[in-house]
Amino acid sequence: MNGGEKSEKRREKRKLVTVPVECRTPGEAENFSARGITVNVSPSGVSFYTHKKLEEGANILISGNDLWEGPRRGEVKWCTRIIGGLYRVGMLLG
């Protein structure tokens, strides 16, 4: 197990992909935004590194120009501090 992954529950195989992403809260009242770098991606999920701690269960929008045509909505499933202010996040895409 690594990076907060508790057990293998994936429905689809993930591809190792390293591209920049941006996250934000949905809606007009943007309470949160962060940038990160992906670790791996599948049609139903994404894992990435960021310098902001994300709360488990948070609903956020994530966008990556090289990944999707537009922002994807998803739920933070886990967020683990790696070192200092660096976190690895696992997100289920809707």
8 within a domain of the structure (yes/no): no
pLDDT at 35 over 80: yes
Task: Check residue 13 and give its pLDDT.
Answer: 79
Asked whether the beta carbons of 53 and 42 are under 8 A apart, the reply is no
CATH code at position 34: 2.40.10.220
Residue-wise DSSP of 5-70: --S---SS--EE---EEEEE-SSSS---EEEEEEEEEETTEEEEEESS---TT-EEEEE-TTT-SS
pLDDT at 78 over 70: yes
Q: By residue range, what is the domain housing residue 88? A: 15-93
10 within a domain of the structure (yes/no): no
Residues 72 and 64: their CA atoms lie apart, in Å, by 9
4 within a domain of the structure (yes/no): no
Residues 88 and 86: their CA atoms lie apart, in Å, by 7
79 within a domain of the structure (yes/no): yes
Asked whether the beta carbons of 78 and 56 are under 8 A apart, the reply is yes
pLDDT band of residue 29 (cuts 50, 70, 90) is low
6 within a domain of the structure (yes/no): no
Domain count, the chain: 1
